[in-house]
Amino acid sequence: MRVGVTFDLRADYLAMGLGEEETAEFDAPETIDAICEALTNLGQQPVRVGGMRRLAEALVRGERFDAVFNICEGMKGAAREAQVPALLDAYEIPYVFSDALTLALSLDKAMAKHVVRDHGVRTPDFAVLERAADALRITLAPPLFVKPLCEGSGKGIDGRSLVNDARELHAVVASLIERFHQPVLVEEFVGGREFTVGITGTGDEAEVLGVTEICRTDKFIGEGYGYRNKEYWEDKVVIRLCEDGAARSAGEVALAAWRALRCRDGGRVDIRNDDRGNPNFIEANPLAGLRPDYSDLCFIANFKGISYDDLIGKIWVSFLRRHPELNKRGRAAA
């Protein structure tokens, strides 16, 4: 099949004058190279498209694809990750990974928490603050953890994210609103073991790929797994495969959240234990990073002895199961 590959290159946005943290979610060239090579090895014909505007230009001039492998994060708006899927829906082009509704829902961390909590999944109590003044009226029990409502890659999480009183909360919320121009999520802090759960598949066929634990070194910054800890992780965390009872429990909670949010094909769910060892849903990432030897989902695959091509193959097979009309053309080496 002719498979369009949609993506946002970090270098393009850096060249436009954006900063390192602003562009943290975007992709490196080696990621696109690896995805295209894996799709080729699966018998498909990848076509590099680029971001939302390039996709729109291609579709308007009449270019078509049998399917799209979408890892586009988008740049503007609370539903920016949903823009490419919504456009592809309008043109009736099937695509890998979650639909517009799930991507918009998951990016808004509070809305995602509402949904998973309604499905019986444990998550810390939380509130959304539209203004810094709201911090003076909050009723959650400290300590509290504070982060932008609709960001990824640990953006806005640093040494000030854990707060202990209303005055401190007010200052941090004011700073985040000024920096990110969006509401702020405040949640009761859970400080136990921290897990990342890799998942492949959709619905009842979704399964845990593996679970890693984020273990901190003495170079770790602050309390949360924020931007600087993620971007420059080598001396700040040790990421290890975890297969004990706590990891299995984390996997069960992550899988329940994945299904509640209707995530598809592949991604990650972050889990953190409370002081009693209960796993709590923190957030879902239905557009997980796919940079070889760098992104968490790739680490999990490596730990489990799954090659990069086989990881993409698992994601591709899940996509094909959702689109049986494509199976004859898309099956190939998958």
Mean pLDDT (the chain) is 91
Q: Residue 108 falls within a domain, yes or no?
A: no
Do β-strands 95-96 and 67-70 pair in parallel, antiparallel, or remain unpaired?
A: parallel
**Residues above pLDDT 90, as percent of the chain:** 77
Q: What is the mean pLDDT of residues 261-266?
A: 98
Q: Specify the CATH number for the domain of residue 60.
A: 3.40.50.20
Residues 178 and 198 occupy one common structural domain: no
Q: Compute the CA torsion angle 308, 243, 199, 204 (nearest 10 deg).
A: 130
331 vs 241 pLDDT, higher one: 241
Q: In this model, does residue 235 exceed pLDDT 80?
A: no
Write phi, then psi, for 91 (nearest 5 degrees): -95, 5
Let me know if residue 320 belongs to a domain.
no
CATH number where 205 lies: 3.30.470.20
Residue 265 lies in a domain: yes
- Evaluate whether residue 300 is within a structural domain: no
d(CA 246, CA 95): 34
In a domain, residue 241? The reply is yes
Rounded mean pLDDT of 8-32? 83
Sheet strand arrangement including 67-70: 45-50, 2-6, 67-70, 95-96
How far apart are alpha carbons 113 and 126 in whole angstroms?
A: 9
Residue 63 inside a domain? The answer is yes
For residues 70, 74, 79, 84, the Cα torsion angle rounded to the nearest 10 degrees is: -40
User: 93, 65 in Cβ contact below 8 A?
Assistant: yes
pTM: 0.91
Q: How many helices (H) and strands (E) does the chain have?
A: 12, 13
Residues 246 and 257 in one domain: yes
Please report which helix (H) or strand (E) contains residue 29, including its range: helix 29-41
- Residue (of 273, 122, 252, 274) closest to 199 by Cα position: 252
Structural domain of 150: 125-188
